[in-house]
Amino acid sequence: MKKMTRHGNKRIKERVNDYSNKNSLLTLVRKNGRTKEDFIGEFYQYLLNKSRRGAKVRVYKNNIYILAKNSKKLITVYSVPSQFLPVTQYGINSQKKNVMNHIAMLDKKPVELTLKNAMLIKGILLKKIQNEQGLIIKIIIQCYENDLISINIDDIEKLILDKQLLTEQIAKEMGVTL
């Protein structure tokens, strides 16, 4: 199976320094390249514009690879524009991404949060507040004392499901006492 279009082949020769083994490079790009969802701000917007018509975008070693949506063939390659270098300044770190993924799964469920200042908070995850990019930037927790607390996503160290409270809630709904 061809891994790139004719145009992609030309652009990889023209724009990528090490293209001696294009197929293994493309495997690395697909496996280790970061998606547009891994970035924020102006660089995210730039990548969004590059991914029109549903094409997949991967950023790998200061190059932007545009891959066909279904066939995953390389369509073209661009260098990351200098105003976005280093791209790490626009990246979402893995811990923050992990917290955001947990928040998405635990909506309206009992949670246990550990903040970066070591404070422990237990409550129900009531609401997620997102920015214009759709990234979660804040959450609202209803503590068991019925207080509402607004927490900035950057202040969260760890977020897990409060299994004990969930078990109690399920038992209560079923009319069972533990």
Query: Do 52 and 108 lie in a common domain?
Result: no
Confidence of residue 178 (pLDDT cuts 50, 70, 90): low
Q: Dihedral through CA 65, CA 70, CA 72, CA 78, nearest 10?
A: -10
Query: Do 128 and 159 lie in a common domain?
Result: yes
Query: Do 72 and 115 lie in a common domain?
Result: no
Report the number of distinct structural domains present in the chain.
Answer: 2
Query: Do 83 and 99 lie in a common domain?
Result: no
Query: Do 74 and 150 lie in a common domain?
Result: no
Query: Do 49 and 27 lie in a common domain?
Result: yes
Q: Per-residue pLDDT averaged across 76-103, rounded?
A: 88
Candidates 56, 62, 50; CA nearest to 17 is 62
- How far apart, in whole angstroms, are the C-alpha atoms of residue 25 and residue 23? 5
1, part of any domain: no
pLDDT of 19 reads 63
Domain C-terminal end among 48, 63, 90: 90
Query: Do 62 and 105 lie in a common domain?
Result: no
Write out pLDDT tens, residues 116-171.
999 999 999 999 998 877 788 899 999 877 899 999 998 998 888 888 877 887 77
Query: Do 75 and 114 lie in a common domain?
Result: no
- How far apart, in whole angstroms, are the C-alpha atoms of residue 102 and residue 111? 10
Query: Do 133 and 145 lie in a common domain?
Result: yes
Q: Which domain holds residue 154?
A: 94-174
Q: Per-residue pLDDT averaged across 89-109, rounded?
A: 83
Query: Do 42 and 111 lie in a common domain?
Result: no
Flag whether the pTM goes above 0.85: no
Query: Do 116 and 137 lie in a common domain?
Result: yes
Residue with tokens 């029109």: 52
The CATH number for 169's domain is: 2.30.30.100
